[in-house]
Structure 1
Amino acid sequence: MSTDLFCEIIAGDRPAHVVHSDEVAVSFLDARPVFKGHVLVVPRVHVETLADLADVGPFFERVQAMARAVEEGLEAAGTFVAMNNRVSQSVAHLHVHVVPRNKKDGLRGFFWPRTTYSSTEEAESYAAMIAKAL
């Protein structure tokens, strides 16, 4: 049994502003939100990454519902939905960020630099390496 921060919230051993809870996932406000209304959706079962989650469908149904609820409930123009796997993952328990967005809210695209492929052949070789791993 894991004892990470999110497992403690799920067990009710640590306080959180819970937005929704069911047999699949628990959703609560991020303690350090990008914008007010920033929600974390976490699976009840302890898994570290998306690759570790056995039943992805029901979990992402909860993420989808939360994205709708954040937009509707906060009258947001949209949402930013994001997940880290290991790198930049502040808690080693799978979690999805659902952040309310509005035009001119100050959040500028992605937080990392972009790159380009040197050629079509290089891009095709990356696509082939990933496809082979599937």
Structure 2
Amino acid sequence: MLTSEIIGGRIKDSREEKKISQQLMVDKLKDIGISMSRETLSKIENGNRTVSAVELKAICLVLSVDIDILLEDNEDDSLVTLFRQRNSNEDTIKGVETIQDMIMSFMNQKKIMNANNETKVEPLWRS
């Protein structure tokens, strides 16, 4: 199951592979309109903060990484199924289900973002 820790680790790995410091990364993000502190990037990379779809798209742009690489989910089983198999109590299962729903929502944001990238959107106003 895809978690904030996994996504953050992949961001960190990609950044380090490109030999980009955290500070340079946040500077490049700022150049494209994403305001983020180095501390926030560190929290994202360590899985202590989730990354929004907008932030993730910008990070992928800066790192020249396909978003699918960062969001690839290699596991088919749900966390709820896993915790039920381990005979966890219902409160634990409900908590896990909430987290799983949040992750699925994040994955849906990815699909919407990809669909928007494939469709040219005309502005509603003209300058």
Output the TM-score relative to the length of structure 2.
Answer: 0.29
Output the TM-score relative to the length of structure 1.
Answer: 0.28
Whichever structure has more strand as a proportion of its residues is: 1
Whichever structure has more helix as a proportion of its residues is: 2
Query: Using CA pairs below 8 Å that are at least 6 residues apart, which structure has the higher relative contact order?
Result: 2
